[in-house]
Amino acid sequence: MMFRGTGTALVTPFTKDGIDYHNFGRLIDWQIDQKVEFLVVLGTTGESPAVSAAERTEIVRFAVARVKGRVPVVVGTGGNNTPHAVADSREAESLGVDGVLVVTPYYNKPSQEGLFRHFKTVAESVDIPMILYNVPGRTGVNLLPETVARLADIRNIVALKEASGSQTQVDETIRRARRVRSDFLILSGNDDQAFHLVNAGGHGLISVLSNIAPKETSDMVRAALAGRVVEAREMHLKLFPLMKNLFMETSPMPIKYGVSRLGYCDNILRLPLVEASENCRAQINSDMKECLGV
């Protein structure tokens, strides 16, 4: 189970006119040293819509070379144009990644049958593992449990990143997916639901929080997976203010600021995203001191 545990959805460090590869490499090394199980590059947290095609290629190539096989590398290749998602997934495979993360198509709001055919087409275009990503709050479409169960029958669709925000939907998805395939993974896409998802039978987390708390986040998930519920719950509650307030403004605005406080990037985002507000930055300062002592 390559993607069991905690995967950090990495921010992309920018300079004023490009990619900050120096700090990107430092961030990758720190994440691995802090024992996260895998890394996700160019997801929502990595501001993938604001990265050019040429930059995308170089970011993926750099990440794979820097990681050097120490942990699996997953790359976000989703979009609302199926041929583009296929092309990005094939390129990621050619660059040596261990898996792709494919979000539900946004804006055009496909039906459940359209979602099934989209994901099936992308999955069948590559030989590497694929993780589905459901985040209706951003995309306007919800990948339902029955559709996940259909997709779980496709050999290289190995996991779902579930960020619907509904524990009822999580439970139903776990129930249906395990009937189809015992090794299909359900990963939380929300830090504040990871403890609950794992204790309902899920398998881990793709995390925003672990950009600034990789050890603490992955320790919490490992404790929950090992059945140490009281220990995991205490870790969850300790980190909860950050889990909540890293989303008080549009992500990745707050987390980019948090990472900049630790010196692993400058607080530079690309339009249409802007820096977190003064009020948000003050809250993140307070929460990082309370939860992490930094």
Residues 81-103: pLDDT tens digits? 999 999 999 999 999 999 999 99
Report yes or no: 240 and 270 within 8 Å, Cβ to Cβ. no
Which two three-digit tokens encode residue 272? 């249409």
Nearest residue to 118 via CA among 157, 92, 146: 157
Q: Report the pLDDT value the prediction gives residue 218, as an integer from 0 to 100.
A: 98
Number of neighbours of residue 254 by Cβ within 10 angstroms: 25
Can you spell out the DSSP letters for 257-276? HHHHHTTSS-S---TT--PP
pLDDT at 180: 95
Catalytic residues: 133, 161
Residue 232: pLDDT band by 50, 70, 90 thresholds? very high
Percent of the chain with pLDDT over 90: 99
Rg of the chain (C-alpha set): 18
Domains of the chain: 5-228 (3.20.20.70)
Reference 177, options 152, 214, 212; nearest CA is 152
Instruction: Tell me the pLDDT tens digit for each residue of 22-37.
Output: 999 999 999 999 999 9
pLDDT at 1 over 90: no
Q: Dmax of the chain from CA atoms?
A: 50
Q: What average pLDDT does range 262-267 have in this prediction?
A: 98
Query: Mean pLDDT, the chain, as a whole number?
Result: 97
Task: For residue range 192-222, list pLDDT tens digits in order.
Answer: 999 999 999 999 999 999 999 999 999 999 9
